Amino acid sequence: MDIRQIRLLHLRQRMRQENIKAYIIPTGDYHSSEYVSDYYKVREFYSGFTGSNGTLVVFDNEAGLFTDGRYFIQAERELDGSGIDLYRMGEEKVPTVFEYLESRVGQGMKLAGNGKVMSFSFAEEVQRVCEKTGCDFLTDINIAEELFENRPSRPCGRIRQLPIELTGETTAMKLSRVREELAKAGCDGMFLSRLDDIMWLFNIRGEDVPYNPVALSYAFLDHERAVLFIQNVSELQTDLFMIRNYDEVDVWLKNELSREQKIAVDPKSVSRFFYELISQHANAVKIQNPVMLLKAVKNETEIRNLREIYRKDSAAVIKFIYWLKKNIKNQAITEIDAVEYLHRKREEIDEFMGESFQTISAYRANAAMMHYEPVTERPVTVLAEGMLLVDSGGQYLGGTTDVTRTIVLGDISDEEKLHFTKVAAGMLRLSAAKFPEGCTGRNLDILARQPLWELGIDYKCGTGHGIGYMLNVHEGPQAVRWKPTDRSADGILKAGMLLSNEPGVYIENRYGIRTENVLLVREDEKTADGQFLSFETLTFVPIDLEAVDVEKFDERDKRLLNEYHRSVYENTSDLLTEEEAAWLREAVRPVV
């Protein structure tokens, strides 16, 4: 019997004992983190699904996993044998997790899940289902974690304080700006549980989440106090704020909050557990997280550092592409070899701290899975034909990077060329956008997609996401997508924000193409009609001309590609060997 079926069997036995009809296991730690350490991989323990987004619902006689378009192909493969049904979120006629629950429960039944891993917003939706159907919703129960055998231990890495040369702004300044925003919203204080918000505010970094340089922590601030809750209280020295133990946050809040205080919480990130706790001991006020927005707008120090880091990171990717193209014909190279070589090139950069997410190195059909990750147990050899898609990024002292190139290794079909060319056109057109302040990514998304829409193709994911500074590779509130998924996708674009720009084509079982640059929003001219914005491209890596069919470009696309390629050479050639630079010069030759 499949190990997951046995685990579900145990869970169902406990559910019966507790008279629970359905048990809900979202992805997540206690901080709404996108990536989580092994300690928190409860959903994976029961389902085998390793993607970064998915909710498992276990009933007595069935179970369903809900995930988004990036993971449809991967989830189908990974759930095989588990007995769990896959629900493809966003597809026609596929119920949401809430509709799924609603259709299967009735009067007097019990739904359950751990209130610490559920965001307030999520729990509220489940609550609504319960009210409609007459169910109860228990969130102070934790049987799925109790039955998690051989559970890894909770991570507890070192904490690093960042100097002003890296942050550009002191914690004192940041605290005062956040307090200003809270005052505007009529609040006396705020409770923070998102780890990247806390790292930004206190100018620290940690090692507790893979790829994200964050430490498990909570924070509280009001007009007098600022308190940071971390695991190793002795590691930090400061008199700017109080430091308390991570595990004492509940008790501290209970003792220190007062009924008169209006305490802001972000319903999208605070867990149900802490929302309830704060509601009981103070006046909880739901607001749009002001820290998220302040953090998203990079200051001039951060921007200066980012420009230099992106130049170096781009040079590492160029070195990698050069090596791959040069050796592919006379050397056996696997997808993982590619990952490792690229890692070594990044390691040569002084400021490098580690990858910003697990590198995607996907050969041919593997690239049709947007978030494919090569595994050592099943090595895939890359041959001198078709294309290799590599999506990777680094964490540096001075910035977080993210870049994708699809690299031609030998013969490719006319269709692959057509698709590659249209992806490049979309990427370049979005990068060249000029638009008035007030626009969101939703206004701009069509610039990247239109060349593909004209072919009847639509990639099932966003075009771009916000990017942190020495922080999470995905951050809000800005994003580029055409469909509203949640409100964060509609963050208004502000000068100083970073955005990825990564259109693609994914043909199941055949190939995948993605080209990704990172853009910095900058002020453009101010006219009688308002302040205009445009983008500065931070990424400098050639777009593979072997896959570009110039005939399929507009005149403007050609001009944009040539201008971009000129900047690639200008910004990276000083970081390359003579041999690499000579290769690059040819790789960025103007197209006509």
**Residue ranges in contact with a second copy by CB under 8 A:** 433-436, 438-439, 442-447, 450, 453-454, 456-458, 460, 482-483, 524-525, 527, 529-530, 532, 554-556
Tokens 């299967």 belong to: 104
Shortest reach from residue 125's CB to a second copy, in Å:
19
When the beta carbons of 533 and 543 are compared against a second copy, the nearer one is: 533
When the beta carbons of 383 and 439 are compared against a second copy, the nearer one is: 439
Shortest reach from residue 246's CB to a second copy, in Å:
39
Shortest reach from residue 516's CB to a second copy, in Å:
20
Shortest reach from residue 484's CB to a second copy, in Å:
8
When the beta carbons of 178 and 489 are compared against a second copy, the nearer one is: 489
* Kind and range of the H or E run holding 323: helix 300-327
**CA distances to 146, 233, 568, 586 from 248, in Å:** 21, 11, 51, 60
Exposure letters 376-412 (e unless 16+ CB within 10 A, then b): eeeebebeeebbbbbbbbbbbbbbbbbbbbbbbbeeb
Shortest reach from residue 461's CB to a second copy, in Å:
12
Shortest reach from residue 532's CB to a second copy, in Å:
6
- How many other CB atoms are there within 10 angstroms of residue 176's CB atom? 10
When the beta carbons of 222 and 445 are compared against a second copy, the nearer one is: 445
φ/ψ (deg, to 5) at 553:
-90, 145
Helices (H), 35-146: 42-47, 72-79, 97-104, 120-133, 143-146
Using CA atoms, how far apart are residues 412 and 271, in angstroms rounded to an integer? 49
Whole-number CA gyration radius for the chain: 24
Shortest reach from residue 535's CB to a second copy, in Å:
13
β pairing state of 262-265 and 283-286 = parallel
Tokens 């990276």 belong to: 572
Q: Decide if 361 contacts 378 (C-beta within 8 A).
A: no
Using CA atoms, how far apart are residues 50 and 45, in angstroms rounded to an integer? 9
When the beta carbons of 398 and 512 are compared against a second copy, the nearer one is: 512
Q: What is the token pair recorded at 383? A: 């041959």
When the beta carbons of 42 and 433 are compared against a second copy, the nearer one is: 433
When the beta carbons of 163 and 456 are compared against a second copy, the nearer one is: 456
Using CA atoms, how far apart are residues 72 and 508, in angstroms rounded to an integer? 11
Q: Decide if 385 contacts 360 (C-beta within 8 A).
A: no
When the beta carbons of 201 and 430 are compared against a second copy, the nearer one is: 430
When the beta carbons of 72 and 218 are compared against a second copy, the nearer one is: 72
Q: Decide if 171 contacts 240 (C-beta within 8 A).
A: yes
